[in-house]
Amino acid sequence: APPPPAYDVERQDLRLSDVGGLTEVKKRLNASFLAPLRNEELRKLYGKSLRGGLLLYGPPGCGKTFLAKAIAGELGAAFLHVSLADVLDMYIGKSEQNVKELFEIARSSAPCVLFFDELDAIGMRRSQMRGSSQRGTVNQLLEELDGVGSENEGVYVLGATNHPWDVDPALRRPGRLDRTLLVLPPDQAAREAILTTHLRSRPVERIDVRRMAKLTDGYSGADLAHICESAAEIALMDSVETGNVRMITMADMEAALRDVRPSIGPW
Ligand code: ATP
C-alpha cells in the first residue's frame, strides 16, 4: 500500500485571539513577524527582508500547533502541516524528493504557512545518519529554506519542537528559522482563558472557570481541552440515558478533572 501522506493543506479561521494566554508571545509575534509582513512601506523603510522563519519551542500540548494555525488565520494563508519525523520515516530514500514537493505545494497554495512539526527529528537522525540519503534531505531542506522570501514568495515557514537543543544548528542560521518563540505552559490566567475558549460554544451552567484554572496547575492546553471534552461527554451520556438534555455543570468538570492527569513536568 502507498504510504499515507505526511501532510495536509487546510484553510484556517483561527485567530490569535483564540489562543489562550501567551500574552507576551502574541505581542512579540505581532511586532516582529505579522506587522512587518503586513506593512510593506515600513519594511522597505527599515530594509527588512522577508527571509527566514520562526521556531516555536516548548513542552508538548501547550499550543505551538494551535499558535501556528492562528498565524495562518491572521495571514489569510493556507496551513500545510508536516510532521518531519514522518517525512523522514515514510519516504526512506525519497524524503529529499518529498521536501522538494512540499515546498512546491506550499508555493502553489500561497499564501501558505508551511509548518514543520518535530523539527528535532532531523537533528537526531543526522547523528545516526546512514550514508548520504539523510544528508541529502537536510541539504534539500536548507536549500528550500534559503529560498524563502525570494522565490518562495508568500510561503511562511514555521518550525516546532519540544527539544530545541536537538535541532540541527544549520536550520537555525540567519535567514532560516532564525527567530525563536518560547511557548510555555499556561499560567493560571492563561488556563482560565483556554478553558473559556473550549467551553464557549458548549451549553454550560454555572461553571466556575476561575476555580478550575486554580485547580489545574501543571495541566497543558491540551490537557485542559481534554477536560472540557470529557465533561461534555459526561453530560452527553447522561442526556442520552435519561432522555433529558442538560447543561454541562461544575460537577462534570470536577469529575473530568479527576480522570485527566497533568502532563507537564518540570520544564
Ligand atoms: P505538541 O508539541 O505535542 O505538538 P503543541 O504545543 O503543538 O504540542 P497543540 O497541538 O497546539 O500543542 O495543542 C493541543 C491542543 O490543546 C490544541 O488543539 C488546543 O485545543 C489546546 N491548546 C493548547 N494550548 C492552547 C492555548 N494556548 N489556547 C487554546 N487552546 C490551546
Output the pLDDT for position 21.
Answer: 86
Residue bearing the CA closest to ligand 1, atom 16: 222
Output the pLDDT for position 37.
Answer: 86
C-alpha cell at 77: 494563508
Centre of ligand 1 to C-alpha 46, Å, is 34
Output the pLDDT for position 2.
Answer: 47
Residue 255 pLDDT more than 60? Answer: yes
Output the pLDDT for position 1.
Answer: 46
Task: Work out the average pLDDT over 140-160.
Answer: 83
Q: Is 198 helix (H, G, I), strand (E, B) or coil?
A: helix
Output the pLDDT for position 4.
Answer: 47
Residue bearing the CA closest to ligand 1, atom 22: 221
Residue 3 pLDDT more than 50? Answer: no
Output the pLDDT for position 200.
Answer: 92
Residue 141 pLDDT more than 90? Answer: no
Centre of ligand 1 to C-alpha 43, Å, is 31
Mean pLDDT over the full length of the chain: 86
How many helices (DSSP H) and strands (DSSP E) are in the chain? 12, 6
Residue 24 one-letter amino acid: E
Residue 7 φ/ψ, nearest 5 degrees? -155, 160
Instruction: Sort strands 78-83 and 7-11 into parallel, antiparallel or unpaired.
Output: antiparallel
Centre of ligand 1 to C-alpha 16, Å, is 13
54 vs 233: CA distance, rounded Å: 37
Each residue of 13-59: pLDDT tens digit? 899 988 888 999 999 999 888 988 888 888 888 877 777 789 999 99
Which of these, 245, 228, 227, lies nearest to 236 by C-alpha position? 245
Residue 249 pLDDT more than 60? Answer: yes
Tell me which of 26, 65, 202 to substitute to probe ligand 1's pocket, judged by most ligand atoms within 8 Å of the beta carbon: 65
Each residue of 83-137: pLDDT tens digit? 877 777 655 567 777 888 889 999 999 999 999 998 887 765 555 555 455 667 7
Task: Work out the average pLDDT over 187-210.
Answer: 94
Centre of ligand 1 to C-alpha 65, Å, is 6
Answer yes or no: are the C-beta atoms of 262 and 215 closer than 8 Å. no
Residue 67 pLDDT more than 60? Answer: yes
